[in-house]
Amino acid sequence: MSHDDKKLVTIIINTQEHQVEKDKMSFDEIVDLAFNPRPTGNDIQFQIAYHKGDDASKEGKLLPGGSVKVKNGMIFDVTTSYKS
């Protein structure tokens, strides 16, 4: 095995486990896993908050266009937040 191979990492998105072979994931990639498939042609706005991440970015909010290092056991919540 070459050391360029990425490890399989298990992350949790909206309480569901996903196995990904990635170092980093983008906002859109995470939304696509949360809502599969993601609706196109729609300007619905999602919010992503993560915790139990890598030491460099343990917890925070992932903004559109951004990406974050993934780690085993990292927990993502992906929701809209229109309702009161």
Number of residues that bind another protein (CB under 8 A): 25
Q: What angle do CA 15, 69, 64 make, to 5 degrees?
A: 75
Given the complex with another protein, which of 8 and 63 has the nearer CB atom? 63
List binders of another protein among 28-67 (CB under 8 A). Answer: 35, 39, 42-45, 47, 49-51, 59-61, 63
Residues in the chain: 84
54: left (phi over 0), alpha (psi -120 to 50) or beta: beta
Q: Nearest distance from residue 49's CB to another protein, in Å?
A: 4
User: Which range binds another protein by CB under 8 A, 2-10, 22-30, 76-84?
Assistant: 76-84
* Amino acid symbol at 33: L
DSSP element (H, E) containing 76: strand 75-79
Positions touching another protein (CB under 8 A) are 14-16, 35, 39, 42-45, 47, 49-51, 59-61, 63, 75, 77, 79-84
